[in-house]
Amino acid sequence: MAKMEVKTSLLDDMIGVGDMVLLEPLNEDSFIDNLKKRFDHNEVYTYIGSVVISINPYRSLPIYTPEKVEEYRNRNFYELSPHIFALSDEAYRSLRDQDKDQCILITGESGAGKTEASKLVMSYVAAVCGKGAEVNQVKEQLLQSNPVLEAFGNAKTVRNDNSSRFGKYMDIEFDFKGDPLGGVISNYLLEKSRVVKQPRGERNFHIFYQILSGASEDLLCKLKLERDFSRYNYLGLDSAKVNGVDDAANFRTVRNAMQIVGFMDHETQSVFEVVAAVLKLGNIEFKPESRVNGLDESKIKDKNELKEICELTGIDQSVLERAFSFRTVEAKQEKVSTTLNVAQAYYARDALAKNLYSRLFSWLVTRINESIKAQTKVRKKVMGVLDIYGFEIFEDNSFEQFIINYCNEKLQQIFIELTLKEEQEEYIREGIEWTHIEYFNNAIICDLIENNQTGILAMLDEECLRPGTVTDDTFLEKLNQVCATHQHFESRMSKCSRFLNDTSLPHSCFRIQHYAGKVMYQVEGFVDKNNDLLYRDLSQAMWKASHALIKALFPEGNPAKINLKRPPTAGSQFKASVATLMKNLQTKNPNYIRCIKPNDKKAAHIFDDALVCHQIRYLGLLENVRVRRAGYAFRQAYEPCLERYKMLCKQTWPHWRGPARAGVEVLFNELEIPEEEFSFGRSKIFIRNPRTLFKLEDLRKQRLEDLATLIEKIYRGWKCRTRFLLMKKSQIVIASWYRRYAQQKKYQKIKSSAIIVQSYIRGWKARKLLRELKHQKRCNEAATIIAAYWHGTQARRELKRLKEEARRKHAVAVIWAYWLGLKVRREYRKFFRANAGRKIYEFTLQRLMQKYFLEMKNKMPSLSPIDKNWPARPYLFLDSTHKELKRIFHLWRCKKYRDQFTDQQKLIYEEKLEASELFKDKKALYPASVGQPFQGAYLEISKNPKYKKLKDAVDEKIIIAEVVNKINRANGKATSRIFFTKTNVLLADQKSGNIKSAGSSGRCDQVSMSSQNDGFFAVHLKEGSGAAGKGDFLLSSDHLIEMATKLYRTTLSQTKQKLNIEISDEFLVQFRQDKVCVKFIQGSQKNSNIPTCKRKSNRLLEVAVP
């Protein structure tokens, strides 16, 4: 039943509490928990009475569609769930129907969604107001002013990718029908210091990046710009690119918006030229120079940038160059020109860039106002939308944060005053007694800042105007003297002793206790930023420009209008504009949107309790709730109240015929609600405690369940009765149709039976007639058939006689032929018998040989020498021929294969053949070496620098160079050595390359090895050789077969004698003067490639092989 219920109040299906005034209990924790609960369910809007709390979801939600606009259009404020459209509709209808000027105040810190909230308000108003070509043009111009101002006034900060760095107040003007006529925009305190310097992780204003990313090559060439951000000193590089932001597409949007608002093409080009000039000003750098009189002056390092700036702005290069190097001071008809050092020159450059961009922004606002202002002079209704920076508390707070927080103090003051005023007016209007409400009045903080004699702004202006040396420290000293006793001012250097030992407060700072909390301000830069000084030489240089827009931005540069009066300070200007804004707001009916940022990560679905708590405090939301519920927490008109709760009383349910107020009185008396919990106004019922309202809601919910049960019971009875009557009527219809069907079936059955009987009779008669006709036909055909059979018999007898006669004639011919043949054979037999057998044998043998060779031609194997296939022998008498032919063919294809070899390959195969003759079937290691190519030189001696000594010692081609393990004669341990030979056998140290032993390969007498699968071998040297003094060499190698073969061939080529290769599991070696037996046994090895040797005695050395 809940799904079928029409929603008529924000209390229906409420997640948490939709109106914080009804929150019970009311404290900071419950306030935050309620916001978090609603945020987790995508409910980003909550009410405090008529104030809307908006939490930035950091993602798109489907709650701003045209269907939603229609849903909230012309609906009561508390009728639907909290939404910014409800407040927009309430404000618009009050303006249209009650002729009350409205203002919508949107506040919150950077990143809380203030700019988006203002866009939503304007888009809603544009959607619900009148239509028409003229009205649509005005609406489009008002909406398209936002992209232009955002491009020039917004920037990426650490808290927000599209942070407004200026305050904006727009008055939208309507006619008596509620159709928009135009608008007026006011801007407050553009953060122009961002032009020349940005904090880490932040960007300059969007327009700089948009031009460089989205402008065409032709436009960039005209503006003398390049796309590379790193070419410009005023652009921070650490955050030049922002995820999810397409600067090129935004640039096209801005150009289109400027065209819609009414900018001419030459005006747009002029604006871009000024932006380019500001960007290139940052690239001007200065170098110090000393004059003859000892004064320091500055010169521009690279005048190319200056030249391009002058070409863009139409300023004489020498005039602008002098303005950056000299300063002229006029006093009492005298002019004094002084040089600027490097620091002053940089200050002048940055001051010019800031003033140029700030004045361009003000000109843009003025130009937009000219386009969107109302063209008629009829009386207009006004709706103001204020989108201004929220309260700011950073790690380093300066002059900008000071005046921003001052503005928020004024807004908080007017918010409390107007809220109390609205409450008091409603109580008086309804005839309810007004009671005084206790609340924190921040007028004392505003007075600390803006007092004309002792205020901080007044002290700052006085310090800036006084003669003598003026610094930030002197300003702080003055504050310590004047404001030391103020309860909301804190300074460590003041006379107040309680802050002397406060280490959290540096000496160069002061602290103000705002309504939102304590904020510490660094005094550095206050004086310079308040002066906002631009040297007159630069103003005059700008006025001399041929560029019409730049000349218009600096009217004070006209020599004919020189004003020696000091211009107003930035603080005084902002104070005056805030006063004007407050005066304007007090003439309008206020509507409030309080924006809250849920987290600092700019991520969806994250709710940071501490951050939200901080914002709740400085927005004063709890204070606002307490003010709203100090008297009566809930109030509602009699008609909707009676409509919502009339089911709780029998007298008012289902219809009340009298006045609504009387019905509510009867209802509350019936429910026995204490009289102190409510009061009757002229048009509304006032409920003091939220518990009373929730009790009514619980009773209503229970009553709705009871009513739902009653409705369900009545519906079920009606449904059953209706179903019974329908079934009864259906039964009668079915019975009549069945009787008709049964009679039809009976008739059809009788009819089909008659047809069947008729068909059987007709069939019997037809079959009888058919039998008679067939009998007659058979009688007629019988004679014909008998005659045919008789004629056939006669023909067959004649045919048989003729065939017998033909067989007899053929037999006579055959017998006669055989007789003639016999006579011929008898005649020639004596000549044939002598040579017939031999000729038949030769003929048969010739045919068999021919067949054999033809089959061999088709069955020949491949030309590969290793192919063992050969056709099978067809006849036994060809056995020897078959084998000889196989041998000849194999020899022939081997020759063909050898003819393909190069000399190097022939040498390799000769070595392989030599190895086969020496080791095949003798050495178990030989089969594994057959598939391994003999490389010889395994070490790149010529390329490795540590083998330089070996390279120098050997000047011949190396036959084999390999790392071997030399077996120690004393203990059998192995040591790595390098073994290589051509005409000499050398052993060298592997690490150092030093030669350990050397001898001629012709001195080798014998090589001994085992028959096992090991690499152990002994080189026996001839007696009398130089190396034989120590005895024979015992070595181990992974390439034993190759080394023995190459040593054998080398010895043979040198001495013409074959080297003796002894293969035995026991052999003798000469160690100095002793003969030692080397015996191979089966055993385990520590290293699979090196046999384990062990000296058993002076006469025995055992080698363990696997």
What's the rounded Cα separation, in Å, for the pair 1079 and 517? 99
| Phi, psi torsion values for 651, nearest 5 degrees | -75, -30
111 in catalytic set:
yes
Determine which one of 110, 204, 213, 1008 is catalytic. Answer: 110
Single out the residue of 459, 384, 362, 470 nearest to residue 106, CA to CA: 384
Neighbours of 663 (CB within 10 A): 23
497 in catalytic set:
no
Whether the Cβ atoms of residue 624 and residue 419 lie closer than 8 Å to each other: yes
670 in catalytic set:
no
163 in catalytic set:
yes
User: Residue 567: in which H helix or E strand, if any?
Assistant: none
Determine which one of 50, 54, 107, 160 is catalytic. Answer: 160
What's the rounded Cα separation, in Å, for the pair 1076 and 608? 90
Determine which one of 56, 81, 146, 163 is catalytic. Answer: 163
110 in catalytic set:
yes
- Count of residues for the chain? 1106
The three state secondary structure string of 639-696 is HHHHHHHHHHCCCCCCCCCCCHHHHHHHHHHHCCCCHHHEEECCCEEEECCHHHHHHH
Backbone region of residue 732 per phi and psi (left: phi > 0; alpha: psi in -120 to 50; beta: other values): alpha
182 in catalytic set:
no
What's the rounded Cα separation, in Å, for the pair 252 and 895? 84
Helix/strand/coil for 185: strand
Determine which one of 164, 250, 270, 539 is catalytic. Answer: 164
Chain centre distance of CA 1021:
78
Strand partners, 171: 184, 384
Contacts 24+ apart (CB under 8 A), 327-332: 327/535, 327/537, 328/536, 328/537, 330/536, 330/562, 330/564, 331/564
Helix/strand/coil for 860: coil
Contacts of 211 (CB under 8 A, 6+ apart): 220, 223, 225, 251, 272, 275, 276
Among positive and negative, which fits the CA dihedral 596, 600, 603, 608? negative
76 in catalytic set:
no
Q: For the CA atoms of the chain, what is the radius of gyration? A: 59
Determine which one of 115, 530, 1008, 1010 is catalytic. Answer: 115
Contacts of 334 (CB under 8 A, 6+ apart): none
Single out the residue of 496, 500, 497, 465 nearest to residue 479, CA to CA: 496
160 in catalytic set:
yes
The three state secondary structure string of 111-172 is CCCHHHHHHHHHHHHHHHCCCCHHHHHHHHHHHHHHHHHHHHHEECCCCCCCEECCEEEEEE
Single out the residue of 1021, 1020, 956, 947 nearest to residue 983, CA to CA: 956
| Phi, psi torsion values for 164, nearest 5 degrees | -75, 120
Whether the Cβ atoms of residue 942 and residue 951 lie closer than 8 Å to each other: yes
What's the rounded Cα separation, in Å, for the pair 226 and 215? 10
Neighbours of 506 (CB within 10 A): 13
Determine which one of 49, 390, 681, 1002 is catalytic. Answer: 390
Q: How far is CA 842 from CA 671, 835, 873, in A?
A: 142, 11, 21
What's the rounded Cα separation, in Å, for the pair 212 and 225? 7
Determine which one of 392, 423, 450, 623 is catalytic. Answer: 392
Contacts of 94 (CB under 8 A, 6+ apart): 100, 102, 589
What's the rounded Cα separation, in Å, for the pair 30 and 47? 15
Determine which one of 111, 183, 455, 620 is catalytic. Answer: 111
| Residues annotated as catalytic (active site), given as ranges | 110-111, 115, 160, 163-164, 390, 392
